[in-house]
Structure 1
Amino acid sequence: MATPTIDAPRSGKVDVKYTRRKGGKGNFEMAAWLFMRLSGVVLVVLIFGHLFVNLMVGDGIHAIDFGFVAGKWASPFWQIWDLLMLWLAMLHGTNGVRTIINDYAERNATRMTLKTVLYVATVVIIVLGTLVIFTFDPCPAGAVTDLPSFCTAK
């Protein structure tokens, strides 16, 4: 009886089942893998910057209220910072859940349904979050009660 042999790793012989097709799913998965690593690094910077400014600078957690958020979002810098954090966190998390769905959903219909729900939820949260960040008005016109102290009567 012949003993099966395994070719040396760098022998140049390639098993056809494990080669990547050009333009196939492998390119998307590689981009998704790379996105997870890069977005993770950027998210660490964004989140720790967010936590430092909100918790360590000034009066710390006791200063966080409606006025604090209104003051932060009056600056385009903090609007962009929070927008990047929202978008990257949502896309990073969505990509991770997509991978889990691909790994564990056995039927194609189940996989498609779960991913559709995931993508719809992601788009809704990103759109609503973006609208909140850019349309936030701490001093709405016509409001006469319960305005923050920095709002002038209109």
Structure 2
Amino acid sequence: MPFSPPRSRLQASSNFEMLAWLFMRWSGVLLLVMIFIHLFVNLVLGDGIQQLDFAFVAGKWAHPFWQWFDLIMLWLAMLHGTNGLRIIINDYADTARSRLWLKAVLLTCSIVIIALGSLVIFTFEPCPLGADPSALPTFCP
């Protein structure tokens, strides 16, 4: 087996950039499809925008499929947007120090939004105690 030297930092960086570029293309296509499905289900089926209320979301998230669908869409959109902003920071930030701080803020904000969004999707209570019964979905007691 021939000896292969360790990969240089430049080569590892270019592989990451290639993977990030591929991720942007594939996630963009998948997001486009998911967004049109999301808009069709929420706005075209049923009564259109008049149906969008707490009961609609509660009924939709009562099914695990829609929870996972919205979770995947959230994660893809946040990662896609974060990667795009990372590229903009690399292009326009003047110094390495400003790039580091801007990327740290970007990463922190992205992690917080992904964590909070995931928490909301999976801890959402469709039938909260003490709520106005007229605002609840029909399946609530």
> TM-score interval w.r.t. the shorter chain?
0.7 to 0.9
**Aligned-partner Cα distance in 2 for 1:149–1:56:** 20
CA deviation after TM superposition for structure 1 residue 104, in Å: 0.5
2:114 maps to what in 1? 126
CA deviation after TM superposition for structure 1 residue 138, in Å: 1.8
**Unpaired segments of 5 or more residues in structure 1?**
1-19
- TM-score normalized by structure 2? 0.88
CA deviation after TM superposition for structure 1 residue 30, in Å: 0.2
RMSD of the TM alignment (CA)?
A: 1.5
Secondary structure at 1:24's aligned position in 2?
helix
> What is the percentage of aligned positions where both structures have the same residue?
63
**Unpaired segments of 5 or more residues in structure 2?**
1-7
5 Å-filtered alignment, 1:2-151, equals 23-140=11-128, 143-147=129-133, 148=136, 150=138, 151=140
**Aligned-partner Cα distance in 1 for 2:137–2:68:** 26
**Aligned-partner Cα distance in 2 for 1:145–1:23:** 58
Question: Residues 149 and 130 from structure 1, CA distance in 2 versus in 1: closer, same or farther, beyond 3 angstroms?
Answer: closer
Q: Is the 8 A contact 2:71 2:118 kept in 1?
A: yes
Provide the aligned length of Structure 1 versus Structure 2.
131
- TM-score normalized by structure 1? 0.81
- After the TM superposition, list the runs of 4 or more consecutive aligned residues in structure 1 that deviate by more than 2 angstroms: 20-24
**Aligned-partner Cα distance in 1 for 2:65–2:39:** 16
CA deviation after TM superposition for structure 1 residue 106, in Å: 1.3
Question: Residues 114 and 21 from structure 1, CA distance in 2 versus in 1: closer, same or farther, beyond 3 angstroms?
Answer: closer
**Aligned-partner Cα distance in 1 for 2:115–2:131:** 29
Question: Looking at CA atoms only, which structure, 1 or 2, has the larger radius of gyration?
Answer: 1
